[in-house]
Structure 1
Amino acid sequence: MTPLHTLYSNNKELLFSINFSILPVKKTSRATRKKKERKMALNLNPIAVKYSHKYPSIALPPKPTLKSPKFLTASTLSSGSTAKEIPDDYFVVLVGNMITEEALPTYQTMLNTGDGVRDETAASLTSWAEWIRGWTAEENRHGDLLNKYLYLCGRVDMRQIEKTIQYLIGSGMDPRTENSPYLGLIYTSFQERATFISHGNTARHAKKYGDSKLAQICGTIASDEKRHETAYTKIVEKHFEIDPDGTMLALADMMRKKIAMPAHLMYDGRDDNLFKHFSSVAQRLGVYTAKDYADILEFLVGRWTVEEITGLSSEGRKAQDYVCSLPQRIRRLEERSQGRAKEARLIDHSLELCKVEVERCKGTTIDIECASNSVPVLFREVESLKKPFSPPREVHVQVTHAMPPEKIEIFKNLDGWVEENILVHLKPVEKCWQPQDFLPDPASDGFHDQVMDLRERAKEIPDDYFVVLVGNMITEEALPTYQTMLNTGDGTRDETAASLTSWAVWTRAWTAEENRHGNLLNKYLYLCGRVDMRQIQKTIQYLIGSGMDPRTENSPYLGFIYTSFQERATFISHGNTARHAQEYGNLKLAQICGTIASDEKRHENAYTKIVEKLFEIDPDATMLALADMMRKKITMPAHLMYDGRDDNLFEHFSSVAQRLGVYTGKDYADILEFLVGRWKVKDITGLSSEGRKAQDFVCGLPQRIRRLALGRAKEARLKLFEIDPDGTVLALADMMRKKIAMPAHLMYDGCNDNLFKHFSSVAQRLGVYA
């Protein structure tokens, strides 16, 4: 593997230090690739690509000192050879668990509904906020791992699953914790133990079925859940110590309401009782049962020594009696629930499975682990890590909750307008694309050949492009952070994690649509074999743990200006990666990036429409907010990107994006100029003196940014001559020998093969460009 940590040319150090560990590949000609394709067409066994070629000019990382089992390898997932031995019911439960884990943005939102503990800025440095982000970052790995396993095993309908995930994130969850940390932390204590039990039981079943790798996967996730359970129960234990009466009443209240599972609103577009059916199968298999519910409550009652607490009010003592007697009452109901589970044996559910034929196991296996020579973190020695578990911090002095009540009321009064004018920019889930539409079908006979073709085509793409594509994917995968950021806005936040206000519906549905972007790019990069996935996954965990600091200060004015700018920036970035992929001849990757760009454009239209409405009803405040946001500068969502080694990782990623023309300083100025025009900022009248000053500042800013960008570009060119004069002169001469082709030299209108030549002739004749 090749870390682009230090890339050398002619023994002279060059300009970037990107830590994405691009795997070097031996480039093959198109003729060679066509030859291989013809062999595949003749049903000859394709040979696994051996990435033995090493660039002599690139420093390689040291080999790991410990050997350990890897989670997803060809030997364990060879055409679903072990997975096909497992009964369907088990996969129904495993799919349900995975869907639950994948709705992670919802759970971070739920934790952030708690008064006094929420992350007020999306990058708050309170210990509560750091815990929530760190917990989310760890939990994010669970859904990612189960998702990839289920995709590779070929036993399930991935498109249906992806659709169900989109519905679930859009629905949110309703645990009825009512913004109370007392209720919320009791809920999570119970819930973490429930998921520990569920994943532990799926591990036990997998081992019984002979799938040791799947048992390891589920067992490792269960281990995380147990650690998280310990933390949450410790918090509630502290609550009982300092406020026993309030905590006792909250525990009784939570148990009277019953603990709703996180995915209780699960829906797939067809089955209104999908969660009930999933739960029936889990009960029948013994993965999660009514007995487990009673056992968890009994465990928590003992853990918190509820029976021994004294000094309670009369209401507190009633609550204590109720809670202590509840486990036995639940157990008496268990026999009835078991009877219902037996009757439900023939219930038709819509978690569809793909039947695996024995013939699918024939043929040559390929290493679908894609270049990762690292081992699971549980087995790795921790040696001289710069920041073992602490992501980067960024502190800005922010004014929080500064909007007066009348401004908050503006946003509450806009709820009906949002329903009619903004929610229309969402697509119905049934009409949305899903990641599986673009990926090799693991249930098909040609899955191996499809993966091999994807890897062959990926070999044609230069390393720099993958640096940018990985950076874009990591940005998309930190989605829980962005939902949290949207929910910092006073007057627009989702107060319950399942609020029915139009603002909350938009935020959840937007998150559900965006969730597909990271999922798709993640799987493509995993399959292509060009990148170190473990390093990438670690970077994602750091980024989610860091949060983001756009400095929007709980103001929807600032927040929606930020998202308007940001959605256009991601539209441009994904659009340019699509263009580059097409130039490299990778039409599938171009389609993937272009499809994501199309979503970003639709979301941009929604956010810009909101700000347009704000200029209409409150022009002065909106103008001041726009100027304020631009003075602070629009920071990219992944500006706190870190991989455990490179403190300037985002800066280095941005440098490569600038050099490739994927996202540049010019784009920043163009976006601002576009928005100034879109919102007709120059034409707005009736402003205060401060508003007019803000207007002048904003309208003059694009040209100032362009002048700065030109200066930086000139400095960069001079820097190249300074660092490597010989190489830069040779490159300049080489470029001039090739001749500078105009950007539109491939211009074509469907009938004139020489259209650009004819256009150039006219330009020459007129003296426009000679």
Structure 2
Amino acid sequence: MARELTQLELLRELESTAEDNVNRHLKVARDWNPHDYVPWSDGKDFAANGGVDYDPADSKLDEVAKAAMITNLLTEDNLPSYHRVIADNFSMDSAWGHWVGRWTAEENRHSIVMRDYLVVTRGVDPVALEEARMIHMTNGYDPMLAAAGRTEELEGQDIDGVGLLHSVAYVTFQELATRVSHRNTGKACNDPIADRMLQRVAADENLHMIFYRNICGAGMDLSPDQTLRAVTDIVTNFQMPGAGMPNFRRHGVLMAKHGIYDLRQHLEEVIMPVLRKWNVFERNDFGAEGEKTRDELAAFLEQLEADASRFEEMRDRSLAREAAKAAKAAS
């Protein structure tokens, strides 16, 4: 059985991959300014400055778009929690440290532009939004431990060789998931300005995903069984980073019901493309433990496919009932 690498060994062995991918990212990333994506002429003062406070009638967004925008923004707002986890499990030296700083700065643009858009257009209640931000950020979130499903086992222990791999596996899937969610939210807003803004944000998320996917892929080549164990922990216990925010369950149901982000998208647009990129089900370099882990992952994916189909059937029936009820009311 191959020895598992420690956190320090992983950082050293993967440092050249990190450097190559930082350089790649800097070549392809596009700098942009949040203020260029906000319709400032739509803005007006609130009561504190002699204007009028928010009224629900001000918003041009429907309930689905509101739920998605709030969820996506609060996810971006909680950046300090994700920065802490990444910084703790990476290194602040060399390419690792440069990436942590660059990634954090780029992600911060997302919350800036989304909040400015929502406040200027009065898309949602800004007071309720700020209250939710305070709650979500105060609670914080540890995506690595929560997603790994091994909180009690790992917390307070030396997790050498686990922290880095779980972290890069989680953010690989999380960045791709947020890309899908932002892209579909832009369409749901029925506003070309919001759509353009969220396409820009989604493009960033895709580049971030590629960085983490390449690091994790290199980890798979370096220590296949160990990395697949981390990937399987993440996939089988995955939670979106918004889990725990106010109204997350209600908003999540609305988003799934109306095609912003659902189980089918999670499986086919997030999990499977990444696993195919890593050749998880084609590679022949796993040991006995890796083969066992791969079987566990395959069984989970089979169940997820069944769950997605069952959800789609329930959703279709629900939407059909709502459409019939609306048609009856209109007649």
Q: What is the Cα deviation at residue 693 of structure 1? A: 1.4
Map of 1:286-685 to 2, 5 A cutoff? Answer: 406-426=6-26, 432-440=31-39, 447=41, 450-451=42-43, 459-489=59-89, 492-494=90-92, 500-550=93-143, 551=145, 552=148, 553=154, 555-581=163-189, 584=190, 586-631=191-236, 633-642=237-246, 649-670=247-268, 671-685=270-284
Whether the aligned pair in 2 keeps the contact of 1:672 and 1:702 (CA below 8 Å) is no
Name the TM-score, length of structure 2 as normaliser. Answer: 0.82
Structure 2 Cα separation of the partners of residues 598 and 614 of structure 1: 25
CA deviation string 1:548-604 (max 9, x = no partner)? 1331555111111100000000010011112223xx2x2111110110000001111
In structure 2, what is the equivalent of residue 368 of structure 1? none
Structure 2 Cα separation of the partners of residues 718 and 588 of structure 1: 33
Whether the aligned pair in 1 keeps the contact of 2:182 and 2:199 (CA below 8 Å) is yes
Structure 1 Cα separation of the partners of residues 65 and 5 of structure 2: 48
Map of 1:665-744 to 2, 5 A cutoff? Answer: 665-670=263-268, 671-716=270-315, 729-731=324-326
Structure 1 Cα separation of the partners of residues 275 and 328 of structure 2: 41
Structure 1 Cα separation of the partners of residues 200 and 7 of structure 2: 37
Whether the aligned pair in 1 keeps the contact of 2:39 and 2:193 (CA below 8 Å) is no
Structure 2 Cα separation of the partners of residues 590 and 522 of structure 1: 15
| 1:434–1:469 distance in 2 versus 1, CA, 3 Å | same
Whether the aligned pair in 1 keeps the contact of 2:18 and 2:96 (CA below 8 Å) is yes
Structure 2 Cα separation of the partners of residues 619 and 561 of structure 1: 13
CA deviation string 1:441-488 (max 9, x = no partner)? 6xxxxx4xx437xx9xx8543232112111111111111111012123
Q: What is the Cα deviation at residue 501 of structure 1? A: 1.9
| 1:508–1:425 distance in 2 versus 1, CA, 3 Å | same
SS in 1 for 2:281: helix
SS in 2 for 1:561: helix
Unaligned runs of 5+ in 1: 1-402, 442-446, 495-499, 643-648, 738-770
In structure 2, what is the equivalent of residue 765 of structure 1? none
CA deviation string 1:394-438 (max 9, x = no partner)? xxxxxxxxx976453121232233112334214699x51011111
The residue identity in structure 2 corresponding to 1:668 is H
Map of 1:75-94 to 2, 5 A cutoff? Answer: none
Q: What is the Cα deviation at residue 652 of structure 1? A: 0.7
Whether the aligned pair in 2 keeps the contact of 1:669 and 1:703 (CA below 8 Å) is no
Structure 1 Cα separation of the partners of residues 217 and 99 of structure 2: 17
Structure 2 Cα separation of the partners of residues 641 and 613 of structure 1: 33
| 1:407–1:512 distance in 2 versus 1, CA, 3 Å | closer
Structure 1 Cα separation of the partners of residues 128 and 309 of structure 2: 35
SS in 1 for 2:88: coil
Whether the aligned pair in 2 keeps the contact of 1:578 and 1:591 (CA below 8 Å) is yes
> Which is richer in helix?
2
CA deviation string 1:612-634 (max 9, x = no partner)? 11111111111121122223x11
Map of 1:29-68 to 2, 5 A cutoff? Answer: none
Q: What is the Cα deviation at residue 731 of structure 1? A: 4.4
Structure 2 Cα separation of the partners of residues 538 and 601 of structure 1: 30
Whether the aligned pair in 2 keeps the contact of 1:619 and 1:684 (CA below 8 Å) is no
The residue identity in structure 2 corresponding to 1:467 is A
Structure 2 Cα separation of the partners of residues 720 and 675 of structure 1: 31
Structure 2 Cα separation of the partners of residues 639 and 404 of structure 1: 31
Identity of aligned pairs, percent?
23
Structure 1 Cα separation of the partners of residues 256 and 211 of structure 2: 27
The residue identity in structure 1 corresponding to 2:99 is W
SS in 1 for 2:286: coil
Whether the aligned pair in 1 keeps the contact of 2:178 and 2:202 (CA below 8 Å) is yes
Name the TM-score, length of structure 1 as normaliser. Answer: 0.37
Structure 2 Cα separation of the partners of residues 669 and 732 of structure 1: 34
Q: What is the Cα deviation at residue 719 of structure 1? A: 6.7
| 1:437–1:718 distance in 2 versus 1, CA, 3 Å | closer
In structure 1, what is the equivalent of residue 50 of structure 2? none
Q: What is the Cα deviation at residue 683 of structure 1? A: 1.6
Whether the aligned pair in 2 keeps the contact of 1:423 and 1:502 (CA below 8 Å) is no
In structure 2, what is the equivalent of residue 150 of structure 1? none
| 1:619–1:422 distance in 2 versus 1, CA, 3 Å | farther
CA deviation string 1:16-48 (max 9, x = no partner)? xxxxxxxxxxxxxxxxxxxxxxxxxxxxxxxxx
CA deviation string 1:316-367 (max 9, x = no partner)? xxxxxxxxxxxxxxxxxxxxxxxxxxxxxxxxxxxxxxxxxxxxxxxxxxxx
Whether the aligned pair in 2 keeps the contact of 1:426 and 1:509 (CA below 8 Å) is no
In structure 2, what is the equivalent of residue 286 of structure 1? none
Map of 1:253-272 to 2, 5 A cutoff? Answer: none
Q: What is the Cα deviation at residue 700 of structure 1? A: 4.3
Q: CA RMSD, aligned part only?
A: 2.9
Number of aligned positions between the proteins: 302
SS in 1 for 2:65: helix
SS in 2 for 1:641: coil
Structure 2 Cα separation of the partners of residues 485 and 544 of structure 1: 14
